[in-house]
Structure 1
Amino acid sequence: MAEPVIEIEVVYAAVDRQVLRTASVAEGLSVRAALLESGIEAEFPELDLASCPLGIFGKVVADPEVRVIQAGERIEIYRPLLADPKEVRRLRAAKAAEAKARNQ
């Protein structure tokens, strides 16, 4: 007897292009297993799909090896941040304070 199959979407936005792919995967797979079964690694061989951060509809999945994917959900593959947003804001504020002090 064949395993039940569900439809999901997998999305990844590289620097130069974005891909949204619909995939049919076995029901009951974890988010990570469904991602690996989707075939997206053929389009982005540089991605480490075994360890990259993942989300579903804009919310980070804390444990993608355990969380079971549901029909119709969209797995999002996140790129690593180039800079910590908090650190960038702190540096910008320090630079603005320095410029204000010079102008007084």
Structure 2
Amino acid sequence: MGDNSLPVEIAFALPAKQRLVALQVPQGTTARQAVALANLPQLFPELPEDTFTKAPLGIFGKALRNPDTQTLRAGDRVEVYRPLQIDPKAARLERAKRQASGQ
């Protein structure tokens, strides 16, 4: 892509399967655009495509407020976050109930 391209990585993980896709993207590419370029639906055909097109995104563990406008810098690792299966507060409450009952 020439001198105006940036090396970035796109990361996505399931409990039993993880992928890190290295890309060269043009300067000015947004986080959401980079995820689309990584073609994750092809790597994870078991998931619906909107898992990637609508997912929350982050860079190096920091959630992005607006991934549709956040432009990337050289070396960024864009992370695609999965939806939570259970609310963390509900999970803590359930654990506390089990501990209180001696289980």
TM range (shorter): 0.7 to 0.9
Aligned to 2:57: 54
Letter in 1 for 2:8: I
One-letter code aligned to 2:4: P
Q: Which runs of 4+ in 1 moved over 3 A?
A: none
Instruction: Tell me the equivalent position of 2:24.
Output: 24
Question: Does the Cα contact within 8 Å between 1:3 and 1:26 map onto a contact in 2?
Answer: no
| Structure 1, gaps ≥5 residues long | 100-104
Report the counterpart of residue 9 of structure 1 in structure 2: 9
Larger Cα Rg: Structure 1 or Structure 2?
1
Q: What value does the CA root-mean-square deviation take over the aligned residues?
A: 2.0
Give the TM-score of the pair, scaled to structure 1.
Answer: 0.82
Inter-partner Cα distance in structure 2 for 1:86 and 1:70: 35
Alpha-carbon separation, structure 1, partners of 2:78 and 2:60? 7
SS of the equivalent of 1:88 reads helix
Contact 1:29/1:68 (CA < 8 Å) preserved in 2?
Answer: yes
Trace 1:21-100 onto structure 2 (pairs within 5 A): 21-45=21-45, 46=47, 47-48=49-50, 49-99=52-102
Tell me, what secondary structure is at the counterpart of 1:79? coil
Which segment drifts farther, 60-69 or 35-44?
35-44
Structure 2, gaps ≥5 residues long = none
Q: Distance in 1 between matches of 2:92 and 2:60?
A: 26
Structure 1 range deviating more: 47-56 or 73-82: 47-56
How far apart, in 2, do the equivalents of 1:26 and 1:34 lie? Answer: 10
Q: Determine the C-alpha separation between the residues in 1 that align with 2:25 and 2:95.
A: 46
Q: How many residues align?
A: 99
SS in 2 for 1:92: helix
1:74 shift after superposition: 0.1
